[in-house]
Amino acid sequence: MTEFTHLDEEGRVRMVDVGEKEDTQRTAVAKGRVRMSEETLSRIMDARIKKGNVLETARIAGIMAAKKTSDLIPMCHPLNITHAQIDFSFDTVNFAVDMEARVSLAGKTGVEMEALTAVSVAGLTIYDMCKSHDKAMEIGRIHLVYKSGGKSGTYTAK
């Protein structure tokens, strides 16, 4: 890329004007992982965390975060998200909870940041719910795996 779209001619930060862009159906999928001790994973799987249902709390937090992304990331546009979903799976070999967020809308700008934010906050919520059992948990591998819509078309991570 030869130009930075969030800078004007004088190098001042600005929000990109998307007013003239066409609405298209847009979807983004992001993934992440929370690694933990075997004991902590077992407690999550068996619903033995004292604070409550870890994954449902993380699911709600992630969806709420997707809706609030423009409040957290300075140059993100406020979006009228039409769908947000977060799913979890267990990796019992590596003692981890894998997270996947899918966000979509019909609009002028993409939802990649919303999907990435959803996964990030879901991971932070898992940490918060389980920190009394395992302060060494690691949140990571957060990345975009798919996006569709808009001028740049479809992207699928390798």
Query: The CATH number of the domain where 125 resides is what?
Result: 3.30.70.640
Residue 1 confidence (pLDDT) = 42
137 domain-assigned: yes
Q: What percent of the chain clears pLDDT 70, i.e. is strictly above it?
A: 97
Sign of CA dihedral 121, 102, 19, 151: positive
Q: Contacts by 154-157 with C-beta closer than 8 Å and gap 24+? A: none
Q: Examine residue 16 and state whether it is found in any structural domain, yes or no.
A: no
Q: Is residue 56 part of a domain?
A: yes
Q: Residue 94: name the closest of 143, 47, 157, 140 by CA.
A: 140
- Tell me: the pLDDT tens digits for 80-111? 999 999 999 999 999 999 999 999 999 999 99
Asked whether residue 15 carries a pLDDT value surpassing 80, the answer given is no
User: Could you tell me if 20 and 27 are in contact, meaning their C-beta atoms sit under 8 angstroms apart?
Assistant: no
**Number of structural domains found in the chain:** 1
Q: Which residues are catalytic?
A: 128
pTM to 2 decimal places = 0.92
pLDDT tens, position by position, 60-69: 999 999 999 9
User: Within a domain: residue 43?
Assistant: yes
User: What angle in degrees, to the nearest 10, is found between the helix axes of 112-130 and 54-67?
Assistant: 150
Evaluate whether residue 116 is within a structural domain: yes
Domain extent at residue 56 = 24-150
Side by side, the strands of the sheet bearing 96-107 are: 83-91, 96-107, 24-35, 138-148, 155-156
List the beta bridge partners of residue 86: 101
